[in-house]
Chains A and B, each alone.
Chain A
């Protein structure tokens, strides 16, 4: 079975050790985590983790059950099963000198990036979007000009009025 992309949205107790238990499950099964982003929700006692991993169907089913088994985990949803919005934030330090400065600025505008820091020979660009758009920008700029890249990891939310809340497990 081919591994495919899964985006797990996990609500869990915002307390010491809770994240380690979640991540431990992936490490124990030798599953790599492609990206993760985590922060408290509107309820500061609950953290939300968006975790991106490549996995086949039986493996993701088992890890989802294992995540639900954790006492500190309140809810797990695989966003790829529902209509959703994915976003990632990227900061890129780009070498921008001489005539190339204009061209880099234009590319940045095309991708709706913002320049958040400037020196005489660099721009720092902030870009938000689906991961594919961020990678597209890096390609357009060209590897030779990129000094440093930092990405936040994907975070995602379902489309429509229905919200993911800390109700009973297993929904």
Chain B
């Protein structure tokens, strides 16, 4: 006779079978029955968080940097609904997280029992898929499907709501895991259309002013090395979206910088004057395009994406290719190699275009040099802080951020050398993401350097996770850009003529050093360049290798985020931009 298991044992076995090693959880009455089996399981580290939202962001940071699903376990009611912002954030940025919650229901659902929420209904618009589990015997199949759905195709969050009635009785069942996933309604593209890919290469070879526009899909799709080979083979200039930073090394000569409202001038000029854009793994977010009608007025667009709904949604694609970035780029590389063997005139194909791009790049860098004189005594400017941090980490550290000026200063100033190092809430703009996300990353890579760059307003949103950080002794380094105001919003109100300028709240801010110290962490203050350099030395010193270090960086409250300028489209039109 086959062995039989209780519901909690079945769940834990299913998780282990899918390679799950960490579970971020917050217990409550409805989740307690699982505690026994989870606590006993040696293959899974159970991470007790302070807030359900923190759990989701941890799982999100974990998932983005590893490519493996981040698993969250929550209770019912408010314990479940607290996770919604975290799920929505993962949905917008295509992060594979799986959120288990428990539904209070003895018999009938939706009978307004204590702590009952319809999590399936509440989360419906922000999940890739969701499951209600009524019987323990369904758990193995559901867990296997959830992992497959969350991580394949365009990744995204999956919610699994287990009814209390399914796990309350201690009846034992056999553990039956199907041999493979069978979902007739879900078949993500495994390869691109060969004919379309061939046409794409021909179009690139015919073009005179091509640009690659890469997005987060290249990173999530593990296609960065294929992208770099292809760009190098054809000498194609590359720009990325915010989510695509790290898709090519930031210091590579082919990289023009980030495109869009907060991008570099040369990247935007390139897009504005290009005759052919190879968009890959990007959805043309409005921060990239501003007014889509004026985004790339002269260009034909080849759009590669695993998600058909991203293609021609904002910018009409002249040549759509539905497929995984990695496979499509591999074929492009093969075809390009074959072409090279036939002809040998590839070298100067885009020479005139590169001359123009280099001229634009030169102009921009002159402007920056004049701008970037560091002064020891003056108030710290955000760009100086970013430069010091970049020098200390070399774009190699895992770097999480929140949302606002600090986020974009890092995006502009760091040159990420590899993919999956840059962890930022791009789509939803979720304040409070950075700290818990950094915790998630540190769990995935215990010996790596993990930096969280945050702002004082964002930091206050989820600071309770400092306690989690203490409990698990995670040596993350937090740099808090403190200008005593919602900098990005303030900047936005200054740009929009006629709006009331936002008043800050410096007088009501806590003393961050005391606050963080009260959680048992080391906290430092830096208001000048010298103090900052000292604090950075301490933070990354051997002495602090196992310690959380928080640096409260006092900034010039009037610092403004420099935004894009461009000739030929409207990316410099700030009147269209909201904070």
Interface on A for B, CB 8 Å cutoff?
Answer: 12-13, 16-17, 20-21, 24, 28, 58, 61-62, 65-66, 68-74, 166, 168-169
Instruction: Convert B531-574 into 0s and 1s, putting 1 for each residue whose CB lies closer than 8 angstroms to a CB of A.
Output: 00000000000000000000000000000000000000000000
Say whether, besides A20-B124, A71-B149, A169 and B187 are in contact (CB < 8 Å): yes
Q: Is the CB of A71 within 8 A of B313?
A: no
Instruction: Convert B291-303 into 0s and 1s, putting 1 for each residue whose CB lies closer than 8 angstroms to a CB of A.
Output: 0000000000000
Q: Is the CB of A61 within 8 A of B312?
A: yes
Contacts of B149 in A (CB 8 A): 71
Measured between C-beta atoms, what is the minimum distance from A105 to chain B in Å?
48
Say whether, besides A17-B120, A21-B124, A71 and B186 are in contact (CB < 8 Å): yes
Residue pairs across A and B with CB atoms within 8 Å: the count is 41
Cα A68 to Cα B322 in complex, Å, equals 13
Instruction: Convert B173-203 into 0s and 1s, putting 1 for each residue whose CB lies closer than 8 angstroms to a CB of A.
Output: 0000000000111110000000000000000
Most chain-B CB neighbours within 10 Å: which of A71, A72, A74, A169? A71
Contacts of A58 in B (CB 8 A): 312
Measured between C-beta atoms, what is the minimum distance from B24 to chain A in Å?
24
10 contacts between A and B (CB under 8 A): A17-B120, A20-B121, A20-B124, A62-B313, A68-B309, A70-B129, A71-B128, A71-B129, A166-B184, A168-B187
Contacts of A169 in B (CB 8 A): 185, 187
Contacts of B185 in A (CB 8 A): 12-13, 70-74, 169
User: Beyond A61-B312, A71-B183, A71-B186: 19 further Cβ-contacts under 8 Å?
Assistant: A12-B185, A13-B185, A16-B132, A17-B120, A17-B132, A21-B124, A24-B125, A62-B309, A65-B308, A65-B309, A66-B309, A68-B309, A69-B307, A70-B185, A71-B129, A72-B129, A74-B184, A168-B187, A169-B187
| Interface check B94, CB cutoff 8 A | no
Say whether, besides A69-B307, A72-B185, A169-B185, A28 and B125 are in contact (CB < 8 Å): yes
Measured between C-beta atoms, what is the minimum distance from B101 to chain A in Å?
15
Contacts of B412 in A (CB 8 A): none
Cα A26 to Cα B308 in complex, Å, equals 18
Measured between C-beta atoms, what is the minimum distance from B322 to chain A in Å?
8
Contacts of A73 in B (CB 8 A): 185
| Interface check B130, CB cutoff 8 A | yes
Measured between C-beta atoms, what is the minimum distance from A31 to chain B in Å?
14
Contacts of B125 in A (CB 8 A): 24, 28
Q: Is the CB of A17 within 8 A of B130?
A: yes
Say whether, besides A17-B132, A66-B309, A24 and B183 are in contact (CB < 8 Å): no
Measured between C-beta atoms, what is the minimum distance from B112 to chain A in Å?
19
Q: Which of B122-136 contact A (CB under 8 A)?
A: 124-125, 128-130, 132
Cα A165 to Cα B85 in complex, Å, equals 38
Measured between C-beta atoms, what is the minimum distance from A9 to chain B in Å?
15
Which of A12, A17, A69, A72 sits near B309, CB closer than 8 Å? A69
Contacts of A21 in B (CB 8 A): 124
Q: Which residue from chain A places its CB closest to the CB of B149 in the assembled complex?
A: A71
Contacts of B120 in A (CB 8 A): 17
Most chain-A CB neighbours within 10 Å: which of B120, B121, B186? B186
Cα A73 to Cα B124 in complex, Å, equals 15
Q: Give the 6 A-B CB pairs with smallest separation, nearest first.
A: A65-B309, A71-B129, A71-B186, A74-B185, A65-B308, A72-B185
Q: Which residue from chain A places its CB closest to the CB of B312 in the assembled complex?
A: A61
Contacts of B187 in A (CB 8 A): 168-169
Q: Which of B442-481 contact A (CB under 8 A)?
A: none
Q: Which residue from chain A places its CB closest to the CB of B120 in the assembled complex?
A: A17
Contacts of B184 in A (CB 8 A): 74, 166
Q: Is the CB of B121 within 8 A of A68?
A: no
Cα A121 to Cα B68 in complex, Å, equals 70
Cα A70 to Cα B183 in complex, Å, equals 11
Measured between C-beta atoms, what is the minimum distance from B315 to chain A in Å?
12
Cα A71 to Cα B184 in complex, Å, equals 8
Contacts of A61 in B (CB 8 A): 312
Contacts of B130 in A (CB 8 A): 17
Contacts of A168 in B (CB 8 A): 187
Contacts of A62 in B (CB 8 A): 309, 313
Instruction: Convert B112-156 into 0s and 1s, putting 1 for each residue whose CB lies closer than 8 angstroms to a CB of A.
Output: 000000001100110011101000000000000000010000000
Cα A118 to Cα B183 in complex, Å, equals 50
Contacts of A71 in B (CB 8 A): 128-129, 149, 183, 185-186
Contacts of A70 in B (CB 8 A): 129, 185
Most chain-A CB neighbours within 10 Å: which of B187, B309, B313? B309
Cα A20 to Cα B120 in complex, Å, equals 10
Contacts of A72 in B (CB 8 A): 129, 185
Say whether, besides A74-B184, A74-B185, A24 and B132 are in contact (CB < 8 Å): no
Q: Which residue from chain B places its CB closest to the CB of A74 in the assembled complex?
A: B185
Contacts of A12 in B (CB 8 A): 185
Contacts of A68 in B (CB 8 A): 308-309
Measured between C-beta atoms, what is the minimum distance from A49 to chain B in Å?
13
Q: Which residue from chain B places its CB closest to the CB of A18 in the assembled complex?
A: B185
Contacts of A66 in B (CB 8 A): 309
Contacts of B307 in A (CB 8 A): 69
Contacts of A65 in B (CB 8 A): 308-309
Contacts of B313 in A (CB 8 A): 62
Cα A65 to Cα B308 in complex, Å, equals 6
Q: Which residue from chain B places its CB closest to the CB of A58 in the assembled complex?
A: B312
Instruction: Convert B468-504 into 0s and 1s, putting 1 for each residue whose CB lies closer than 8 angstroms to a CB of A.
Output: 0000000000000000000000000000000000000
Cα A72 to Cα B309 in complex, Å, equals 17
Contacts of A13 in B (CB 8 A): 185
Instruction: Convert B86-129 into 0s and 1s, putting 1 for each residue whose CB lies closer than 8 angstroms to a CB of A.
Output: 00000000000000000000000000000000001100110011
Contacts of B124 in A (CB 8 A): 20-21, 24
Measured between C-beta atoms, what is the minimum distance from B302 to chain A in Å?
18
Contacts of B312 in A (CB 8 A): 58, 61
Instruction: Convert B277-297 into 0s and 1s, putting 1 for each residue whose CB lies closer than 8 angstroms to a CB of A.
Output: 000000000000000000000
Measured between C-beta atoms, what is the minimum distance from A64 to chain B in Å?
9
Cα A28 to Cα B125 in complex, Å, equals 8
Q: Which of B284-343 contact A (CB under 8 A)?
A: 307-309, 312-313
Cα A21 to Cα B128 in complex, Å, equals 10
Cα A157 to Cα B553 in complex, Å, equals 67
Cα A73 to Cα B186 in complex, Å, equals 8
Q: Which residue from chain A places its CB closest to the CB of B316 in the assembled complex?
A: A58
Cα A70 to Cα B186 in complex, Å, equals 8
Cα A156 to Cα B185 in complex, Å, equals 22
Cα A169 to Cα B308 in complex, Å, equals 12
Cα A13 to Cα B131 in complex, Å, equals 13
Q: Which residue from chain A places its CB closest to the CB of B130 in the assembled complex?
A: A17
Cα A20 to Cα B121 in complex, Å, equals 9
